[in-house]
């Protein structure tokens, strides 16, 4: 269930201390952005913030950057994004928790806005606001706000994940403990997997304030369509046992799966055709084709075989040169 959000949120009750918010920042090869993330948290209007930087065996100067600031620094052997988030969670002291990627930033009101909602309603599984995009150097990119869904949150999230980045969301610690944190087998889509597991069991609330900044650059995991399709397919398919007796949720799951297969299937097919046309990276193109065939056979037929046949028909001279 999506709980309605009030347009104006009162301050945390003055008669009791504000709950501590633990913000967990996993970092791997992102030291050049890390200072931005930390400083955005030091500039929060919320009064009680604990910052934990989890160095996931990063080979850069993550440790040196983190130690310039009043943060809890934890180093671990490289084990992936979700495992690093779980490590941070195990070290966190706060009753409220946020996961901020090292290349993203929080706006000054972000923690206050979400914390107020969670304190006001202890039933909630998480609270979330909007974000906008920024460039690699931190400049704002005009970003249309995604309309939040209404009705059953779990159904809406099966159909489409509208939460751009994890910093938009704050969780009560007890909820994360109850559901077991992140699945360490899923990295690129571990946050989406978490939203589904929480929204299936708890009411959630969204509001329309912009509270976070999502940095777009060439090394974003979401730029790899094969990785995204593989992990999203895994995440969504394993929700099937929970929707079999509900035709509305089951239809949302299957529609959402088709939508993501089409969206990322188009990108994979474009990458395959570009390799074929250029005569370079044919081995990688073959692996992409096998992944697409396994995860989306219909998309393979539509996007690769049919369109690819037209492409090769238009470029017979290039094909002959490649054969020689």
How confident is the model at residue 57, as a pLDDT? 97
Asked whether the beta carbons of 157 and 195 are under 8 A apart, the reply is yes
Non-local CB neighbours of 283 within 8 Å, separated by 6+ positions: none
How confident is the model at residue 319, as a pLDDT? 30
How confident is the model at residue 299, as a pLDDT? 63
pLDDT digits (tens, 9 = 90+) for 152-169: 999 999 999 999 999 999
pLDDT digits (tens, 9 = 90+) for 178-212: 999 999 989 889 999 999 999 999 999 999 999 99
Cα–Cα distance measured from residue 206 to residue 161, given in angstroms and rounded to the nearest whole number: 13
How confident is the model at residue 103, as a pLDDT? 97
Q: Which residues of 167-179 are buried (b: 16+ CB within 10 A; e: fewer)?
A: bbbbbbbebbeeb
Read off the pLDDT of each residue in 59-85 and give the average, rounded to a whole number: 97
Which of the four pLDDT bands, split at 50, 70 and 90, describes residue 101?
very high
Cα–Cα distance measured from residue 170 to residue 12, given in angstroms and rounded to the nearest whole number: 15
pTM value? 0.85
Asked whether the beta carbons of 152 and 2 are under 8 A apart, the reply is yes
The per-residue pLDDT of the chain, averaged, comes to 86
How confident is the model at residue 218, as a pLDDT? 81
Q: What are phi and psi of 228, to 5 degrees?
A: -65, -45
How confident is the model at residue 295, as a pLDDT? 67
Read off the pLDDT of each residue in 125-136 and give the average, rounded to a whole number: 96
Which of the four pLDDT bands, split at 50, 70 and 90, describes residue 313?
very low
How confident is the model at residue 305, as a pLDDT? 55
How confident is the model at residue 267, as a pLDDT? 82
- All structural domains of the chain, each given as residue ranges with its CATH number in brackets, are 2-220 (3.90.550.10), 226-323 (no CATH)
The answer to whether residue 224 scores a pLDDT higher than 60 is yes
In the chain, the percentage of residues whose pLDDT exceeds 70 is 81
pLDDT digits (tens, 9 = 90+) for 240-265: 999 999 999 999 999 999 999 888 88
What DSSP string describes 37-95? HHHHHHT-SSS-EEEEEEEES-SSSHHHHHTTSS-EEEEE----HHHHHHHHHHH---S
The answer to whether residue 45 scores a pLDDT higher than 70 is yes
């Amino acid at each position: 269930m999506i709980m309605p959000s009030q347009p104006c949120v009162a301050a945390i009750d003055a008669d009791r201390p504000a709950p501590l918010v633990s913000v967990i920042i996993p970092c791997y090869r992102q030291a050049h952005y890390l200072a931005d993330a930390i400083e955005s948290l030091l500039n929060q209007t919320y009064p009680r913030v604990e910052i934990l930087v989890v160095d996931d065996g990063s080979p850069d100067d993550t440790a040196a950057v983190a130690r310039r600031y009043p943060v809890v620094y934890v180093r671990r052997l490289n084990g992936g994004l979700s495992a690093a988030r779980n490590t941070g969670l195990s070290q966190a002291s706060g009753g409220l928790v946020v996961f901020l990627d090292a290349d993203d930033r929080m706006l000054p009101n972000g923690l206050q806005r979400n914390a107020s909602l969670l304190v006001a309603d202890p039933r909630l599984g998480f609270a979330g606001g909007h974000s906008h995009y920024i460039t690699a150097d931190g400049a704002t990119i005009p970003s249309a706000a995604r309309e939040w869904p209404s009705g059953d949150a779990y159904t809406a999230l099966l159909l489409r994940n509208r939460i751009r980045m994890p910093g938009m969301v704050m969780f009560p610690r007890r909820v994360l403990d109850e559901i077991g944190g992140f699945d360490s087998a899923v990295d690129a889509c571990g946050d989406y997997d978490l939203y589904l597991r929480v929204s299936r069991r708890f009411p959630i609330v969204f509001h329309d304030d912009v509270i976070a900044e999502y940095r777009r650059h060439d090394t974003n995991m979401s730029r790899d369509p094969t990785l995204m399709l593989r992990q999203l397919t895994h995440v969504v398919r394993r929700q099937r046992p929970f929707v079999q007796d509900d035709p509305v949720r089951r239809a949302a799951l299957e529609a959402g799966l088709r939508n993501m297969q089409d969206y990322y299937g188009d990108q994979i097919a474009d990458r395959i055709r570009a390799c074929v046309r250029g005569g370079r990276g044919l081995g990688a193109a073959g692996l992409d084709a096998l992944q697409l065939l396994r995860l989306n056979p219909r998309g393979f037929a539509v996007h690769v075989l049919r369109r690819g046949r037209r492409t090769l028909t238009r470029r017979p001279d290039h094909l002959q040169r490649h054969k020689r």
